[in-house]
Amino acid sequence: MTDKLKIKLSIADRVYPLTVDMSQEEGLRSAAKKIDAMIKQFEENYAVRDKQDVLAMCALQFASQLEQQKSVDTVVDTESIDRLARLNNALETYLNR
């Protein structure tokens, strides 16, 4: 049985009460801090008054980063598969001597 934990996260000056698995707490708190830091950065660098606009910009930024990371992960996976195939071929050649 996983233990549930009641936490409160503050994002964009609003408090969100959540019930989460203990294993999720640290990640959620970290994510909330990153969102607030990004909100502050957008507010300082752009003339944005509406919190909803800033939150939309944050969502776009995080989604963009996720998509870019997926592309990188795909390239890394392809390279790893190629390297494993070469290693497998080398082992088969060695063992079949």
Q: 5 CB contacts (<8 Å, ≥6 apart)?
A: 19, 20, 21, 22, 25
State the pTM of this model: 0.68
The predicted-structure confidence for 14-58, as pLDDT tens digits, reads as follows: 999 999 999 999 999 999 999 999 999 999 998 887 889 999 999
Q: 38 CB contacts (<8 Å, ≥6 apart)?
A: 58, 61, 62
CA 44 from chain center: how many Å? 24
Percent of the chain residues topping a pLDDT of 90: 56
